[in-house]
């Protein structure tokens, strides 16, 4: 497995927290860092494909044989964000891949999304230690991964 990454488009204003990159197959990814209103030191990270071919469905993920390079690029982006925002002490990743934003019970109708979420959670378990090397706690609960800085 290579550590190669795709070229990253960094935000023009460091505090903006929105990064982009394009894959070799032509997919355009957005990686967005949102701050919680109740705690500006808590950042939620959302990423996915934003190409027009997906009918405006934000944060769709695809697998065109580029998953390792995509994840390595996301690792580099999150590391850059951490360097720029060293006071942020909680990072939250949502592994469920759905477009309606709802947390629903597992049903036959949504099982495809649950399976995608579980696959993404497995990727998080593999790649989060590459981002947060020391001094961080990992909590995998349901379809979420929450990383907190050790005190």
How do residues 12-51 score in pLDDT, each as one tens digit?
988 789 999 999 989 999 999 999 989 999 999 988 888 7
The answer to whether 145 touches 138, Cβ cutoff 8 Å, is yes
Q: Looking at 11-25, 69-83, 88-102, which range is the least confident one?
A: 88-102
Q: Is the pLDDT of residue 104 over 70?
A: no
Mean pLDDT confidence for 108-117: 44
63 pLDDT band, cuts 50/70/90, is low
Contacts of 47 (CB under 8 A, 6+ apart): 29, 30, 31, 32, 59, 74
Whole-number mean pLDDT of the chain?
80
> How many percent of the chain have pLDDT more than 70?
74
The answer to whether 111 touches 55, Cβ cutoff 8 Å, is no
Tell me how far the alpha carbon of residue 123 is from its chain's centroid: 10
More confident residue, 14 or 135: 135
């Amino acid at each position: 497995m290579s550590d190669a990454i795709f070229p990253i488009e960094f935000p023009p204003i460091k505090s903006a927290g929105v990064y982009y990159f394009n894959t070799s197959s032509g997919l355009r990814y957005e990686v967005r860092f949102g701050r919680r209103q109740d705690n500006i030191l808590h950042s939620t990270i959302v990423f996915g494909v934003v190409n027009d071919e997906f009918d405006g469905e934000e944060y769709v993920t695809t697998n065109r044989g580029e998953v390792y390079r995509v994840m390595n690029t996301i690792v580099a982006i999150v590391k850059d964000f951490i360097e720029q925002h060293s006071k942020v002490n909680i990072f939250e990743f949502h592994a469920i891949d759905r477009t309606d934003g709802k947390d629903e019970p597992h049903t036959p109708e949504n099982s495809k999304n649950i399976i995608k979420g579980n696959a993404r959670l497995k990727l998080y378990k593999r790649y989060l230690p590459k981002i947060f090397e020391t001094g961080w706690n990992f909590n995998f609960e349901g379809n979420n991964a929450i990383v907190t800085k050790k005190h």
